[in-house]
Amino acid sequence: MKKVTLTFSLLLLGATTYAQSFYAARRERSLILTAGTGTSSYYGELANPGNYINANLHFNVGAQYYFTNRIATRVELNWFQLAGDDKKATPESGRMQRNLSFQSSNLEVSAVGIVNLFAHGDRFYRRPEYNFYGFLGVGLLYSNPKGIDPATGELVALQPLKTEAVDYSLVNLAIPYGFGGRVKIMPDFNIAVEIGWRKLFTDYLDDVSTTYPGSAVLTDPVALRLSDKRTTGSQGTPGGMRGNPGNNDAYMLLNVKVEYYLPWQFGSSALYSKKRKSVKYKKSRR
């Protein structure tokens, strides 16, 4: 009977120790899954001055990891739409006669560093009810601008046509930066609102940058139609200004995100938790 009691006690102790260890691991969470939606806004030759926010679709998904109770990194995939149209410009801008337009579906993958204004507690659920943060990083953008052929009404990819006799890349470097705020709605969930701008090193997000090549350079009739869609005036003469190469294009993403703390423990956060436990144990022995 004593052997049975001893065996049962050891099993119970082992199960209790495992449960406590498992629960402790579940309490400290450093990896966060994010997903959101919002709007995307384009800034370039075909955008209207003063039009800062556009109603274009935007979705994202990502993973965020905390190195300390204030500093994190995030890897994210964004899909979004951009568009610009001279027909929507103000009459005084003179752009309605140029009559150019574009639209695109875009993919961006990015990695950013995040710094929070307020530090988290020693456990993820002890984080502040409200927090604010800034971010800066690097990303790659895939963008394929398209325009409507005035002869057929079909949507045509513009980059292969070389409408300005320039062979530009569809993949470009982007520098994401911005800020946001989040609210803790449950121990495992946050709601965040974030605004982020992208600095680009290309002026061909919209296929418009320099001058009209003219029919002597563009022998493809489709390329010629989409290069020069002017309605009146002489701005489409060969060598005439088609865009503004002095300013690169840019875009902005405004979105609402859900952040979910995954029930796992990783790396430095786990180490941080163990060190705190060690310090508490040493203090209790004094």
What whole-number percentage of the chain has pLDDT above 70?
80
**Model confidence over 222-263: pLDDT tens digits?**
999 999 998 776 555 788 889 999 999 999 999 999 999 998
Question: So what's the pLDDT on residue 238?
Answer: 85
CA distance 182 to 194: 9
Q: Looking at the domain assignment, is residue 113 inside a domain?
A: yes
Q: Is residue 112 part of a domain?
A: yes
CA–CA distance, 58 with 198 (Å, rounded to integer): 14
Task: Please report whether residue 203 resides in a domain.
Answer: yes
The residue behind tokens 């990896």 is 31
The pLDDT score that the predictor gives to residue 198 is: 98
Q: What is the CATH number of the domain that holds 97?
A: 2.40.160.20
User: Does some domain include residue 156?
Assistant: yes
pLDDT at 268 over 70: no
Q: How many CB atoms lie within 10 A of CB 116?
A: 19
pLDDT tens, residue by residue, 175-221 = 999 999 999 999 999 999 999 999 999 999 999 999 999 989 999 99
| Greatest mean pLDDT among 92-101, 161-170, 233-242 | 161-170
Domain enclosing residue 254, as ranges: 29-285
Mean pLDDT is lowest, of 108-122, 151-165, 183-197, 270-284, for 270-284
In one letter, which amino acid is 273? Answer: S
Q: Are 115 and 70 in contact (CB under 8 A)?
A: yes
24 domain residue, yes or no: no
Report residue 271's pLDDT band, with 50, 70 and 90 as the boundaries.
Answer: very low
Query: Given pLDDT bands bounded at 50, 70 and 90, which one contains residue 156?
Result: very high
Of 91, 92, 72, 222, nearest in space to 154 by CA: 222
Alpha-carbon torsion angle 59, 61, 110, 189, nearest 10: 120
Q: 8 lies in a domain?
A: no
Predicted confidence at residue 284, as pLDDT, reads: 52
Position 286 scores a pLDDT of 53
Q: How confident is the model at residue 10 (pLDDT cuts 50, 70, 90)?
A: very low
Taking each continuous run of H as one helix and of E as one strand, the counts in the chain are: 3, 10
Residue 215 CA, distance from chain mean position? 40
Model confidence at 273: pLDDT above 60:
no
Residue 43 to residue 95: CA distance in whole angstroms: 15
Cα angle: 270, vertex 274, 278; to 5 degrees: 170
Q: Give the CA-trace dihedral at 163, 169, 171, 172, to 10 degrees.
A: -100
Q: Identify the pLDDT of residue 237.
A: 75
Give 98-140 pLDDT, tens digit per residue: 899 999 999 999 999 999 999 987 788 889 999 999 999 999 9
**Confidence at 29, pLDDT banded by 50, 70, 90:** confident
| Residue 9, domain member (yes or no) | no
Domain count along the chain = 1
Per DSSP, 204 falls in state: -
- Does residue 268 lie within any of the structural domains? yes
